[in-house]
Structure 1
Amino acid sequence: MSIAVSPRRVARSELAKFESLRSSWITLGLALLFLVGFGVIAAFQGRSGIDAPGSEGATGYSMALFGVTFALIAIGVLGVLTSSAEYTTGMIRSTLAAVPRRLPVLWAKASVYGVIAFLAGLAGAVVAFLATSAVLSGTSGAVSLSDDGVVRGLLGAGAYLGLVGVIGVALGVLLRSTAGGISALVGTFLLVPGLMSLLPDSWSDAITPYLPSNAGASIYALTSSDGSLSAGAGLLVLLAWTAAVLAGAAYRLKRADA
């Protein structure tokens, strides 16, 4: 008696694959360590000078999320590995033989890991915020969860890291190479923003806010600075980037041989 292939069963299969690999938990642990550790370090480093003239922009919130960029690398790399490893080992043939329609595999990988990355990112952001708040207690930089925008911002940090995880999965399927996927991810989120300074100011000002990294940063920013997107607009832009990479991955998965 054959067992029908359903989205739920495919998702459970992908979750089981993820849970079975020790490297998955180690890399997630590193992401949390980066997020919490760098936030606490920033708080200890900034505590002594936070009340000094010229430091008015420093807050416990900004220090707490100082490690988001570092956590992004770990979560994005794990997303790439989640999908590209099957091409490296050849296991993808067995996966697609079990799910001949193919696309449910991509949707399951992206959704399962996206949820895991979101929850891990949110948990790390909350712990980092509480830890830095304790370090900065009694200073002008202290911020509480009840302050305007803090809860929304922490959720935004989780959403940003969750979408980075989905982009990583999609890059792994699109490029079918761990090295290629990681290079594309790191280049897009870390290198390209720095290269914007080489462009004329008018071009840089017009393009920079719509880069994935800048749009993502605006999602969890407490306030919008000049030239940056609002939290809602940043989320829409990052969702558009995510959808574009997923579309490319879906096309290659459907059209190309495993």
Structure 2
Amino acid sequence: MSAMPSPRTRPSTHTAEPTARFVDLLAAEWIKVRSLRSTYWVLALSAVVAIAININGVHSDLPYIDRPHPPLPGLPPFRYDPLFHGLGNIAAAVMALAAGGFGAITVFGEYATGMIRTTLAATPDRRAVMAAKVGLVTAITLVLGLVVSVTSFFATNAMLASRHVGLSIHDPGCLRAVTAYALVIPVCALIGLALGAVLRHATASIVAVVALLFVLPMLFGGERYRVLKEIGNHLPLAAQSRLALNPDSHTSLGAYPATITGSWIALAAWAAVSVAVAVTVVRRRDL
């Protein structure tokens, strides 16, 4: 009879744990987002509200467009601006607030519940975890921004076609306006994500989002000081408004106007700095 092999001589059955792929990290982040029904309900509702605001604004203008507008001395002739009314600032503010809150909650939500410990225990590479969060937040909010922007543009201009003042996407400035209107939403979401990573508190993060997006621009209004006006021109929603401006409109840009190139750079810089801040803070700070 052959001797039974000693436990010490048995081959080892332990294998190394496979490294999590980036696709797996994205799937894990998607599960976290999907598990909170209130999150995607708020995003979907904000998109519907934003589209409704734009459509209602143009619909309310239809009787005004039909009225005669005699020329006034010293003023250019009346010309309705579908871009200004169809891609309105109020709707953009609604989506920016919702996106900023969504970006913040993806980070501070895990710190508040303690789930971040489980996440980093499963995937010690904090940069990869944050890259997955950034990718998912950007993708979701970009889709929402495109839905709101494209739907608002085509719906409002279809309403204005009977008044012969509607625009086509091929008209000057229209594609740029629709693109900027969509891109400012993920930019605001990344700003919220960065603030959530820095503050790690629900109330503080939301207050910071509101302060940066809506209160701070009030401090940089006016045209007396060029430095303040230049800073105000490069805030996220101000840059979007400049890019959405109709080239054929008679809107005055005032003193020290922002440029098209500078506005694109401002949006890109806000997104890049927000990602850098979020990754750096989560990587270096303790839990």
TM-score, normalised by the number of residues in structure 1: 0.90
Name the aligned partner's letter for residue 106 of structure 2: T
> Cα deviation per residue 1:86-129 (whole Å; 9 max; x = unaligned)?
11111111111111121111111111111110111111111111
> Cα deviation per residue 1:180-237 (whole Å; 9 max; x = unaligned)?
2211111111111112247843343232212222123333334394544334321211
Partner of 2:272: 243
3-state SS of 1:137 partner? helix
Name the aligned partner's letter for residue 85 of structure 2: M
Task: Say whether residues 1:234 and 2:249 are aligned partners.
Answer: no
Partner of 2:214: 190
Name the aligned partner's letter for residue 117 of structure 1: T
> Cα deviation per residue 1:221-254 (whole Å; 9 max; x = unaligned)?
3439454433432121122122223222222211
Partner of 1:81: 105
After TM superposition, give the deviation of residue 57 of structure 1 in Å.
Answer: 5.4
Query: Counterparts of 2:194 and 2:231 in 1: how far apart (Å)?
Result: 23
Partner of 1:62: 84
Q: What pairs up with 1:114-133 in 2 under 5 angstroms?
A: 114-133=138-157
Partner of 1:253: 282
Query: Counterparts of 2:235 and 2:42 in 1: how far apart (Å)?
Result: 25
Partner of 1:90: 114
Query: Counterparts of 1:245 and 1:161 in 2: how far apart (Å)?
Result: 14
After TM superposition, give the deviation of residue 39 of structure 1 in Å.
Answer: 0.2
Query: Counterparts of 1:163 and 1:219 in 2: how far apart (Å)?
Result: 14
After TM superposition, give the deviation of residue 34 of structure 1 in Å.
Answer: 2.5
The match for 1:136 among 151, 157, 160 is 160
What CA RMSD, in Å, does the superposition of the two structures yield over aligned residues? 2.3
3-state SS of 2:146 partner? helix
Q: What pairs up with 1:202-221 in 2 under 5 angstroms?
A: 202-221=226-245
Partner of 2:32: 17
> Cα deviation per residue 1:53-76 (whole Å; 9 max; x = unaligned)?
378454222222111121111111
Task: Report if the CA contact (8 A) 1:160-1:219 is conserved.
Answer: no
> Cα deviation per residue 1:153-199 (whole Å; 9 max; x = unaligned)?
21221111111112212221121112122111111111111122478
Query: Counterparts of 1:86 and 1:190 in 2: how far apart (Å)?
Result: 26
Q: What pairs up with 1:93-108 in 2 under 5 angstroms?
A: 93-108=117-132
Task: Say whether residues 1:109 and 2:124 are aligned partners.
Answer: no
Task: Say whether residues 1:47 and 2:62 are aligned partners.
Answer: yes
3-state SS of 2:125 partner? coil
In structure 2, do the counterparts of structure 1 residues 228 and 23 end up closer, same or farther at CA, with 3 Å as the change threshold? Answer: farther
22-31 or 212-221, which deviates more: 212-221
TM-score, normalised by the number of residues in structure 2: 0.81
How many pairs were matched up? Answer: 258
Task: Report if the CA contact (8 A) 2:106-2:193 is conserved.
Answer: yes
Query: Counterparts of 1:191 and 1:141 in 2: how far apart (Å)?
Result: 35
Query: Counterparts of 2:77 and 2:20 in 1: how far apart (Å)?
Result: 58
The match for 1:8 among 17, 23, 27 is 23
After TM superposition, give the deviation of residue 31 of structure 1 in Å.
Answer: 2.2
